Chains A and B, each alone.
Chain A
């Protein structure tokens, strides 16, 4: 008769799919408990203990911030399933709430199976509960036993929140300001002379790129951060946006302009607080994250550092 190929495919798929479907926090195996007589396909899949007592348990302004991402996601790649591709899923459906760990919608079996049923995995009624685990992507429905309700991924962290944990681990910081003329009471620059600005001793924490990963709520996110540009508030009402870390000034450059990050004051700093311009460098970071079958971008501005430089009129010095 018919459809051998389909059956073989389903059988192979089911075996691979199911071993991974319930992986998550559990170490139980999944077996077919009841076959549908008419088709010979499995009607009820259940978990059986694999490890005894194991309960069931992710130049322009750069890319836009893409928001939170979806907390609930499907990723069948660990089960060898590429269609549908990884991506967000609704956190709830008529079949229950989504579990990233189990890759399925969870709902308690109502009423609970009679005592002694294999789906209890040897536990007595009242000790944990039996849940339906329905995977609409494959049409598979299994019953699982769990001591506590499997976590509802809809109430868990979003990929962005997990990415933010990764960002915290990066220990991003403002740049160390390099500027000529040098800050301090003994150094004075001149109106009309070039000022050079740069990130001093740049490293992964001050300008990137830096990559970190974090996991929470069944979501694992890898994030890479780098500085898109540095905005220099020169203290005279001018903002200079530099797309590079800048070029450190060397005495042999003389009166040349900085090739990539500079400014020329038109007025002296006399009359400003401390008779100096307060120069503030603010880093604009772009963090690209991927995980939970999704990708996104986080924009992070506001890491800044300030210094003061004095600018004098040339004729004042001459006189």
Chain B
């Protein structure tokens, strides 16, 4: 998860960086969503400053069903992450922040990390496949 945030932060900070790097940390719907987000931000001349921190991380479950990866029957690890974006800002072309004043600086997201190439690469093939917000008390900022 650290790699995921690190890559995403880097791509959003540097408009010239190659979006293909996302494929090393995300896959499927998550990859598509973050690609679309970063492309749109770049089209609009937006860029990020600061980096995302992980305050807490809890592994919730592990599944090793690898019976049909392409269809979704794939080994997964479900991880709850409490992120902290206190130091993150997003600026428009003119350098003005576009971040809303009521943006929560911390929050929980439940990520599903999957390995669609488990047989070939059981350790290095893990990618963030999807995620959903968790409505629980935000963790303390790191």
| A142–B130 alpha-carbon span in the complex (Å) | 12
The smallest C-beta distance from B23 to any residue of chain A, in angstroms, reads 12
Say which one of A35-43, A54-62, A249-257 lies at the interface with B: A35-43
| A32–B131 alpha-carbon span in the complex (Å) | 11
Q: Is A1 positioned at the interface, with any CB of B under 8 Å from its CB?
A: yes
B76 partner residues in chain A, CB cutoff 8 A? 114-116
| A4–B102 alpha-carbon span in the complex (Å) | 8
Q: Is A213 positioned at the interface, with any CB of B under 8 Å from its CB?
A: no
Chain B residue with Cβ nearest A125:
B72
Q: Is B119 positioned at the interface, with any CB of A under 8 Å from its CB?
A: no
Residue from the list B69, B74, B99, B130 in contact with A40, Cβ < 8 A? B99
Chain B 90-122: CB-based contact to A (< 8 A → 1; otherwise 0): 100000111111111001010010101000000
Interface pair A118/B132, CB less than 8 Å apart: yes
Q: Is B32 positioned at the interface, with any CB of A under 8 Å from its CB?
A: yes
Q: Is A239 positioned at the interface, with any CB of B under 8 Å from its CB?
A: no
The smallest C-beta distance from A106 to any residue of chain B, in angstroms, reads 12
Query: What is the interface residue range for chain B against chain A?
Result: 35 or more
Most B-side CB within 10 Å, residue of A32, A109, A113, A132: A113
Interface pair B29/A139, CB less than 8 Å apart: no
Q: Is A6 positioned at the interface, with any CB of B under 8 Å from its CB?
A: yes
Chain A 13-56: CB-based contact to B (< 8 A → 1; otherwise 0): 00000000000000000001111111110011000000000000
Chain B residue with Cβ nearest A32:
B133
Interface pair B33/A141, CB less than 8 Å apart: yes
Query: What is the interface residue range for chain A against chain B?
Result: 35 or more
Tell me the chain A residues, 111-156 only, with Cβ under 8 Å from chain B: 111-120, 125-126, 130, 132, 134, 139, 141, 143
Q: Is A7 positioned at the interface, with any CB of B under 8 Å from its CB?
A: yes
The smallest C-beta distance from B75 to any residue of chain A, in angstroms, reads 9
Interface pair A125/B68, CB less than 8 Å apart: yes
A143 partner residues in chain B, CB cutoff 8 A? 29
| A3–B97 alpha-carbon span in the complex (Å) | 7
Interface pair B85/A141, CB less than 8 Å apart: no
The smallest C-beta distance from A294 to any residue of chain B, in angstroms, reads 28
- Interface pairs A-B: 5 shortest CB-CB: A125-B72, A40-B103, A112-B72, A7-B100, A1-B101
- Could you pull out 9 A-B pairs where Cβ atoms are within 8 angstroms? A34-B133, A35-B107, A38-B52, A40-B102, A110-B28, A111-B71, A112-B71, A114-B72, A126-B68
